[in-house]
Amino acid sequence: MKKTAGWKRVLPLIFILVPVLGPGEPVRASAGTTIISQAPEEATADWNLMTEWLENAAASGSGENVPFAVGNTFTVSTDILSRLAGKNVTLALYTDSNVTFTVSGTDVRRTDIPVCVTLSEEEVLPDEALRQICGAQIVRQFQMAEREAYPCLVNAHLSLGAENSGKNAVLYSCDEASGRMKQEGIYRINESGSAMFGLKRGGVYAAVIMESYTVMPGDMLSRIAVKKGISLQALTAANPQIADPDRIHVGQILNIPGV
């Protein structure tokens, strides 16, 4: 199809992923953002062309993804954040490490500081930190050289393998001062093996795979633990999003470690 001036191809909506976190969870990915997999052929590394596409997409207001090839080091400038702010458009940032980042205009509230990312997939988590993630298959580690807070939510899209479809992808961050791991988010992996997490800052992250369980009528954590052949302590540790272990609700999605 021939392109004309001021026109660009609208990228198809590839995957829609429904978050499974309950109320009060620390970080959610942007609910309106399309799950991204491989970089499309249309992705450009030309800053000026990306800016033109972004302006056109923002003007249309139809929720387009604007694909930008950035390598593993990039900056979303304050100018770009200003163009995004409040608009129904998403900037998709394709790296060289099979991790894609997106910034949705509806998430941009501040435009006075840029988003700076230097990405590395070097495995840097010490064994002591990894042991805190009991009974889980660690499938991806990544980190940013910068540790500062972002001025808006930055979504990280991970390809975790279609064989993991239907399982839970759980993202942990590492507090480098204490060495403690913190659960940042849970997403049900879609049929193509993709998951999306919302990040508030740069840091050291590990994505793990756990089986999932949907709470049924009459369930209690102790009964679920017995049913799955694990200890109540292990089940509780794998689900820190549960504020009160005595109060779970039908339909809630739990992580099941060591299955």
Read off the pLDDT of each residue in 216-232 and give the average, rounded to a whole number.
Answer: 93
Instruction: Look at residue 217 in the predicted model and tell me its pLDDT.
Output: 95
Read off the pLDDT of each residue in 106-118 and give the average, rounded to a whole number.
Answer: 96
Higher pLDDT, 8 or 89: 89
Instruction: Look at residue 7 in the predicted model and tell me its pLDDT.
Output: 35
Asked if residue 194 lies in contact with residue 159, where contact means CB atoms within 8 angstroms, the answer is yes
Instruction: Look at residue 234 in the predicted model and tell me its pLDDT.
Output: 86
- pLDDT at position 1 over 60: no
- pLDDT at position 117 over 90: yes
Higher pLDDT, 85 or 129: 85
- pLDDT at position 95 over 60: yes
Instruction: Look at residue 195 in the predicted model and tell me its pLDDT.
Output: 93
Gap between the Cα atoms of 228 and 22, Å rounded: 22
Digit-coded pLDDT (tens) for 177-198: 888 888 888 898 999 899 999 9
Cβ count near 188 (within 10 Å) = 16
Gap between the Cα atoms of 25 and 36, Å rounded: 23
Instruction: Look at residue 131 in the predicted model and tell me its pLDDT.
Output: 75
